[in-house]
Amino acid sequence: MRWRSCLPFAAMLAATLTGCGWVGAHDAARVPGCTVPDDEDGLLDAYADDPVLAVRPQGARRAGDVIRSKGCERVSREDTTNTSVSLTWRLSRGYDDGALRRTFDPVAREAGWRFTPAGDRGPVADGSVFLTYCRSVLEVPSRLVIRSDPEQRVDVRPSTADRPPSPQWSVLSPAGIYVTIYADPTCPTP
């Protein structure tokens, strides 16, 4: 009777040792019918070498390395990844539109990026600022998005009509600048 309780463990061990079970799980995560640009690895290399990613905003510190994402991988039931690279900077304060433009616009334009209207940005924090650009990278229409978010804080003891705001605030999200370059067939290119 006791040996039956070991069957799930034995099956998992056999699958692991024989290479069955998880083989091809990464490929299975690709969405059927979804297409990625030709030479996706070369495109990711070109994105990662873009001079905009070398810009260091004043007072910022990197929040990690450049992240590369291959396209068409299932993230959730509705969402898939896009061929992209991204980099995050942490700041003590968010940048306004003028500061973000002075920091990134000259380098972006020199690299051939053309400023475009932001369009639908989805849910954003109050005070967020966006810059969006388009250009062709290895003959693939591509978009550069630079977003600055202010620090998001919450009162740890919410105020009421008879209770003033707390002198203590909790930081939900630090201020940051997010730089993303991705393949976007809707991006107008010359």
Domains of the chain by residue range: 34-183
* 9-13, 114-118, 179-183, range with greatest mean pLDDT: 179-183
| Cα(142)–Cα(113) distance, integer angstroms | 9
| Cα(84)–Cα(183) distance, integer angstroms | 7
What is the pTM for the complete model shown? 0.73
* 13-17, 97-101, 104-108, 126-130, range with greatest mean pLDDT: 104-108
| Cα(55)–Cα(120) distance, integer angstroms | 25
Mean pLDDT along residues 142-171: 74
Reading the block at residue 106, the tokens are 């000259």
Reading the block at residue 91, the tokens are 């700041």
Q: Please, are residues 70 and 83 in contact by the beta-carbon 8 Å criterion? A: yes
CA atoms within a 13 Å half-sphere pointing along the CA-CB vector of 168: 2
High-pLDDT (> 90) share of the chain, %: 45
pLDDT tier for residue 31 given thresholds of 50, 70 and 90: confident
| Cα(50)–Cα(46) distance, integer angstroms | 6
